Chain A
Amino acid sequence: MERKISILIVDDEESVRDSLFSWFIEDNYRVECAESAKKALSILESANFDIILADIKMPGMDGLEMLRRIKSLKKDSIVIVITAFATVDTAVQALKDGAFDYVTKPFDPDDLSHLIRNAAKQISLKEENEVLKEKLVSLENVEDLIGQSEAMQKVLKEVESVAQSNSSVIITGESGTGKELIAKAIHSNSSRKFFPLVSVHCGALTESLLESELFGHEKGAFTGALYHRKGRFEMADSGTIFLDEIATISTKMQIELLRVLETKKFIRVGGNKEISSDFRVICATNKDLKSMVEQGTFREDLYYRLNVVNIHVPPLRERIEDIPLLTEYFINQCCISMNRQPLKIDTVALKRLEEYSYPGNVRELENMIERAIVIGNGKKITLKDLPLEKSIIDSSIESLDDNEKNHIIQILNKYNWNISRSAKALKVDRVTLYNKIRKYGLKPSEDK
C-alpha cells in the first residue's frame, strides 16, 4: 500500500489554510496547518512533512526566513512558497534559497494539483533511490551461496569486503565447494558488475590452446586459425576474469600470465599489436599453491601477484549445520527444474545425509538429491532413495574377492542358476564362471 504524502500548510490567513486543508484532504493527503512560521518550525521539530506549503508574507518571521531555517535543518525538504504578488525578485530569491517551486495566489486548481503531484513524484523517486542504494550496499546475487554456518558467514563477509576493491583474489577449497559461485558473487558486487565475468577452465586446455584462449589469435596464426579471435583477457575488459584450476597451468604460461597481470597488456598469438585490457583477476584452485611454490612447481612471484586476498571455502563436512538448508534448497531447485511438486525429505534420510563425509562436497550433495528425486516415489525422499544406504550397509565388505563373490551370487540367483545366462550377463565364459563358483564354494541351496 502506498503511503500518504504529508503536507504542512503555513499561512496566517485562516481562509487560505481552510481552503487548502479541505482541498488536500479530499485528495487523500495527510495535512496539518500552522498559522505562523514560528508555529510551523515548532511542529517540524517533532514531526516530518513531505511537502511544506508556505506563504511568503506573514507577520513575524516571513516565509523566506522560514524556508532558510527549514533548509538549514533538513536540506532535502520540499518547500513550495506562496506569493500574493509574484515578483521576479521574490521568486528568484525563494528558488535560490532552495524552494522546490513557487505559486501565485490565487492559483488555478489544476496548477496546484500539478505542483503537488510533481513534488510527490520527486519524493517517491528519492525514496526509490534510497531503497536502490541500500540494495546496492547489501550483497547481491548470493542466493546460491547457501549457508548459515559460521564458516560460510565468514566467507560471505570476506566476499562483501573484497568485492569493492580491485585486488586479485585466490579462492581455495576442495573440489565441489562452490568456488565459482564465490567468484560470481565477488564480481556481481563489484563496480565491474555491469561488465562481463569471463571464466576460463585452465585445467581443461592444453598449453597452446590456453594461450590462444587467453590472449586471442590473429588469422593464420596457426593451422585452423581461419579468423582472428579475441582472447579472454580482451573480453574481460572493464570486467573480471576468473581463472579456474590455476595450479594446472604450465611454467611458460605462468610467466606469460605474470607479465599480463603486471602490465595489463598482451599480444594476440600471431599478432604484433599490443592490446590493453582493464580486468580484475580472480583465481581458484583446490591445490595448496604455497606448497607448490615451495616445491618449485608454481612461480613464487605469480603466487604473490595473485594471492592479494585469499578466500578459503570450507568443505561441506566442516559445515554440517548447512546440510539441511542446502538439502532443502537443492530439493526445491530440482523440483522446479523437473516441474514437480515440492518434496520433503524424511528425518532418517536427512540425518544420514548429515553423517556422510562428502568427498565431492556440495556438488556431491546436489547430485545425490537430484538422483533421489529422479528415482524416488515422488512423494518423499527416504533413505532408500539415497546412494548412501548401500554404501553404509556394505561398508563391511572391503576386499575385491568378497565383492566379486557377492556379485556372482546376485547374478546366479537372478538367472535361477542358469550358468549360460549368468555367464553371458557377467560377460565371462562358462568355464570361468564354473571356476569362480568352485573358488567361492557357491551352491544354489545356500544362496537362495
Chain B
Amino acid sequence: MDQQNITLISFGYFRKNILEKIAEDVKLEFHFPVNIKEGHLDLSEFYDSSRRQYNGNTLLRVIDADFSPDSFRTIGLFSVDLFIPILTFIFGQAMLNGRTGIASLYRLSNERYGMPRDETLLLDRFRKEVIHELGHTFGLLHCPNPTCVMRSGTYVEDIDQKNQNLCVKCRTEL
C-alpha cells in the first residue's frame, strides 16, 4: 500500500501541466504526497450507446478494484461524459469514506455551454472537482457553506462560485 499517498490516475490525454497543477493543489489541501500516474482502460466497455455516455458507477468500481488496491486514495481522471443510471450526468463521484473517486472535465469546459474556451477556468473547475471528490473519500459530506469546496454543485456556475479550499468546519472534520 502506498503509505498516505494520494494518486491521480489519468485515463486519456491530459496536458501535463494541468495534472501537475492539480497535484500541487491537492497536496496543499490535504497535506499528503501526491503521485501522478497514467492509466489504461478500454473505455468502450463502459460506454452506454443509448445514452452516449460512460457509466460512472462501473468505472468507479473497476478503478477501485484494479487501480487502487494498494493505494491510500485514488482519483481517476477522465475527459469523457460520465453518467449514473438515475442522473443525466455527473461531474464525478466517489466512495464516501472509501479510497476511490472519479472526476471528468468533459462538462467543465466553457465550450460545452457555447462560451469561449478558457483553459484557466477549466483547470480551476477541474481541481475543485478533484478536491471535492477526494473530500468524500475522507468522509466529508456536502457542506452548506457557499464558498466551501465541499458545497454540492450541479452546474458549472455552482463550481465557479466556490473556492478550491475546505472551509474551517470541513477541515476540522477531516
- A residues adjacent to B (C-beta < 8 A): 13, 15-16, 18-20, 22-23, 25-28, 105-110, 112-113
Contact = CB atoms under 8 A, between A and B. Distances in A.
Contacts of A13: 85
A22 B89 CA distance: 15
30 contacts: A13-B85, A15-B85, A15-B86, A18-B57, A19-B57, A19-B84, A19-B85, A19-B86, A19-B87, A22-B93, A22-B96, A23-B87, A25-B96, A25-B141, A26-B136, A26-B141, A26-B152, A27-B141, A27-B152, A106-B86, A106-B87, A107-B86, A108-B154, A109-B87, A109-B88, A109-B90, A109-B154, A112-B86, A113-B152, A113-B154
B89 A109 contact: yes
Contacts of B89: 109
Given A18-B57, A107-B87, A110-B155, 4 more contacts: A20-B86, A23-B86, A27-B142, A112-B87
A134 B86 CA distance: 41
Contacts of A112: 86-87
B135 to A, nearest CB: 10
A23 B86 CA distance: 10
Interface in B124-174: 136, 141-142, 152, 154-155
Contacts of B155: 110
Interface in B76-110: 83-90, 93, 96
A13 B57 CA distance: 13
A109 B153 CA distance: 9
A25 B109 CA distance: 28
A15 B96 CA distance: 16
A112 B142 CA distance: 15
A51 to B, nearest CB: 15
A25 B93 CA distance: 12
A26 B86 contact: no
Contacts of A113: 152, 154
Contact of A16 (B86, B142, B152): B86
A58 to B, nearest CB: 15
Contacts of A110: 154-155
B131 to A, nearest CB: 15
Contacts of A16: 85-86
Nearest to A114: B154
B57 A28 contact: no
Interface of B: 51, 57, 83-90, 93, 96, 136, 141-142, 152, 154-155
Contacts of B136: 26
A108 B87 CA distance: 6
A170 B88 CA distance: 70
Contacts of B85: 13, 15-16, 19, 105-106
Contacts of B142: 26-28
A107 B155 CA distance: 14
Counting from the closest, the 10 A-B pairs by CB-CB distance are A110-B154, A109-B154, A19-B84, A19-B86, A28-B141, A15-B85, A27-B142, A106-B88, A108-B88, A16-B86
Nearest to A82: B86
A356 B96 CA distance: 71
B93 A106 contact: no
Nearest to A112: B87
Contacts of A108: 87-88, 154
A105 B51 CA distance: 12
Nearest to A103: B86
B57 A107 contact: no
Contacts of A22: 93, 96
Contacts of A28: 141-142
Contacts of B51: 106
A20 B87 CA distance: 9
Highest count of chain A CB atoms <10 Å: which of B51, B86, B154:
B86
A425 B142 CA distance: 83
A25 B142 CA distance: 9
A107 B88 contact: yes
Nearest to A113: B154
Contacts of B87: 19, 23, 106-109, 112
Contacts of B83: 106
A28 B84 CA distance: 20
A414 B104 CA distance: 98
Contacts of B86: 15-16, 19-20, 23, 105-107, 112
A15 B57 CA distance: 8
Nearest to A18: B57
A202 to B, nearest CB: 59
B84 to A, nearest CB: 4
A112 B85 CA distance: 13
B96 A26 contact: yes
A448 B136 CA distance: 91
Nearest to B83: A106
Nearest to A27: B142
A335 to B, nearest CB: 39
A2 to B, nearest CB: 10
